[in-house]
Amino acid sequence: MTPIMRGLGAARCATWAVLPALALAALGPPTYTAPPFPTSAFSSYYVAPTGTQQAQPVIVDPVSGKTYEPELTDPNTIPQQASIPPLPLPSGILDSSEYLRSLALAQILAIANSSAPAWKDSCTKCLAGTSVAKSLAAVAPSEIPTLAIELCEKLQFSSSCNVTFSILNYGALVAQLLQMADVAGLDGQNICNYIFNGLCPAPSASPLGDLSLWFSKPKPSDANEWVQRRRTQAGQRLKVLHLSDVHLDPRYSTGSEVNCTSSLCCRNPSSSQGVAHVQFPAPYYGAYKCDSPLALVMAAFQSIPNLTDTQATGFAWSIYTGDLVSHDPNNQLSQDYVTYTETVVYEQMKRYLGSGPLYAALGNHDTYPAHLDIPHAGLPDDIENEFSWNYEHLSTLWEQEQWISPNEAEQARAHYAGYSVKRQDGLRIITLNTDFWYPDNYFAYINMTNPDISGMLRFLTDELQAAEDAQERAWIVGHVLTGWDGSNGLPNPTNLFYQIVDRFSPHVIAGIFFGHTHEDMFSIYYANNATTISAATAQTVAWIGPSIVTLGNLNTGFRMYEVDSETFEILDAHTWYSDASSFSTLDHEGPGPTWKYEYSARDAYGGGINWPSDAPLNATWWHKVTERMEADPSLVQKFTTYQGKLSQLTPACTSADCVKQKICYMRSGSVPISRQNCQTPQ
C-alpha cells in the first residue's frame, strides 16, 4: 500500500470539507398503501385474481415467441418429476454394465463399513469411495445414476434417493462431475466436505501464487488524484434502485398451508406438503415461510415509484442482484419455468420502474437445475454449452428491454450472463455470475486448484484494468456474496476476488453489490488481505441488498441509494419495508400491503462519527460504524433489527459473543478471512 493510499482517509476529509453541498434527494410519502392487483399489467389471463386464487396471466415470451401453457404455473398440476433429463450423460467406453456397477457398489460399501486401519477416518473412506465411482463413470457413466441411488439408500443419505439421483434430476450431473473432477486431490476433499456434509475437513485456501500474472500493471501511486478531481466537481445526487431476491412463486396457492413441514409452503397439499387439514391459510400477499406470490411482487413494483418520488423521472439506473425463481426442488423445475419467470419479472420491472436502465446479475436459482453453471474449460461441446439456453434468453431479454446494447448482450452470452457496461457518465458497471464461487454449484468442484476455472474473475480483472486506464469508476454487481460468515462461497475464488478488489480499490471500485441472504447487510474489504483491520486500511464496502421475498421469517423490502454523479460513491441509502405479519388481514379486493420508510443509513449509524455531512458512506465510514458497535453493542442490535427488515421473528443479537461475531462478519470479505478471524460463539 503506497503512502498516498494510506493517507487517503485524511485526504478525503480535507477534500470533502470544500465540496459544494449536494441537495438531499426528495423522497415520497413515509408510507404508501399499494392498490389492488393491477389487472391491466397483463393483456389476458388463464385465471383472473380472486379471493382464493392468484392471478395466472397468459405470458408470451418475447425472445422465443412461445406462449407458456397454463399447466406450467397451475398450482394443481405441479410436476413431481421432470419429463426429460435436464443434463446429458457424458460419453463412456461402454453403453452400460450392470456387472461393473455391482462391483463398484460392493467395493464402496466395503470401504464405508470397514474398520481396517487403511480406512481410518471418514475422509479417507470418502476419497476412496469417490475414486471407485470415478472409475465406473469413466467406463460406463450410464450406470452412475443407479449407483448413486443404491448408495444413497444403503448409506441412508436421504429419504428421496430415487428422486434426487434419477437421470431426470441429478443423475447425469453426478456422472459428469465424477468424470471431470480430480477426486483424489483438492476436488475430492471439497466434494467430501461440502457435498457429503463434512466427511472431510474444509480445505484451506490454496496459495494464489504470483499475482503479477493477474495484474498487468501495479496500482498507480497517484491513483487517488483523479478521484479527488472528481470530488471537487459540483455533482448531483442520483437516485439508484437496488432490488434483490424476488423469488416469484407463480404456483403460490392462496389459502394453502403456511406452516408446512416439507418442501415449499403455500402450495396445494397434493403438490408437496401432504397436509390433510389447513391450519394456517396462506394470505393473498404472502407469508414468512413462502416465496413471493405475484400479488406481492406487483404491489412492491407499484409502490416503489411513489415511495421514492420517481413517478415522473424514473431512476438514474437500477440494479438487480439476482434470484428471480422460486425455491422449488429440481424435480419440479424446468427450462420453461425459469424462462417464464425471467420474462414476467423483467417485463414488470420495465413497466413500473421507469425509463432508466436496469443492470442485472444471475442468481443461483435463476437456472435449471438450480445453482448450476458449468465452466467453459475445454470440455465436450454438449457439456460445455449445456446452460447456453439461459444466457441466450437473458441477454436477448435485457437487450430487448433496451437495458444493454447488442454488443453487451453478446458479451453476456459469452460470459455466463455476466457483462460490462461503459456508461456515458463515466461509470462502468460489471455484472458477474457468482455461481462459480457458490458451494451448491457442483461444477465448481472441477479443477479447484485453479481459483478461476470459469474465467469470470479474469473477465472482471480485465474490465477493472480498462476502467483504471480510462480513469473511470466501477460498480461490481453479483448475487452470492464473497464473505460474511464463510458459508456462502468457496475459499479459492473468494480469496482471489478479495485480491482483485484490493488492487483496484478505492480509486476504481466505487461500490460492490450483492444479494442472496435475503437480509440487509454489508461487508468491508481491507488492504493487504485484511492483515491490518482499521479505518486507514478500509478500502471498499459491499452492500448486500434486502429481498422482496419474505421466506426466512423476514419482511419484504427494497433500497434506494443517493449516488454522487461525479464520484459514483453512495451518499446515503434509504430502505423501505412492508410487515408480512399484517398480510393476513388483506385480500384481493381491498388495499394491498402498506410500505413504510425504514431508515437512512447515514442517520441510523452516523451518530458519534466525525464525518463530513457530504462525505460518502464508504468503507472508512463503515469501519468507523463497526468501531462504534464495539463501544456500544446496542448498535449491533439496531443493525440486527434492520437486517430482518423489522421482522418480529428476527433473533436478537445482544450477547457479547454474538456482538463480537457479527462485527467480525462485517469485516470479512472472503471465506478465508471469515474462517480465520471469526469464531463461533459457544
- Give the annotated binding-site residues for Zn(2+): 245, 247, 323, 364, 479, 516, 518
Number of helices (H), then strands (E), belonging to the chain: the values are: 21, 15
Q: What are phi and psi of 549, to 5 degrees?
A: -70, 150
* 90 grid coordinates: 457424458
Residue at grid coordinates 405470458: 59
User: Count of alpha carbons within 13 Å of 313, Cβ hemisphere only?
Assistant: 15
- Strand boundaries in 122-255, DSSP class E: 237-243
d(CA 276, CA 426): 59
Sign of torsion over alpha carbons 256, 258, 264, 266: positive
94-101 long-range contacts, Cβ below 8 Å, gap at least 24?
94/139, 94/140, 95/140, 95/142, 96/140, 96/142, 96/143, 97/139, 97/140, 97/143, 98/143, 100/136, 100/139, 100/140, 100/143, 101/136, 101/140, 101/143, 101/146, 101/147
CA R_g for the chain: 25
Report cis status (omega within 30 of 0) of the bond before 439.
no
- Check the CA dihedral 208-360-394-249 and report its sign: positive
SS3 labels along 161-191? HHHHCCCCCCHHHHHHHHHHCCCCCHHHHHH
Q: Which residues pair with 248 in a beta bridge?
A: 292, 325
| DSSP strands (E only) in 594-681 | 594-600
Handedness of CA 346, 347, 348, 354 (dihedral sign): positive
How far is C-alpha 585 from the geometric centre of its chain's CA atoms? Answer: 32
Q: Which of 230, 220, 244 is nearest to 320 (CA)?
A: 244
CA separation for the pair 292, 155 (Å, rounded):
36
Cα-based angle 177, 183, 186 (whole degrees, multiple of 5): 110
| Residue recorded with cell 457439456 | 383
Contact 676, 669 (CB under 8 A): no
Question: Among 130, 137, 123, which Cα is nearest to 107's?
Answer: 130
Q: β-strand 538-544 against 419-422: which pairing, if any?
A: unpaired
Q: Give binding residues as ranges.
A: 245, 247, 323, 364, 479, 516, 518
Residue labelled with grid coordinates 403455500: 266
Distance in angstroms (rounded) separating the CA atoms of residues 342 and 323:
10
Q: What is the dihedral of CA 559, 565, 568, 574, to 10 degrees?
A: -20
DSSP state of 401: T
How far is residue 512's CA from residue 137's CA, in Å, rounded to a whole number? 41
Question: Are residues 127 and 174 in contact, defined by beta-carbon separation less than 8 angstroms?
Answer: no
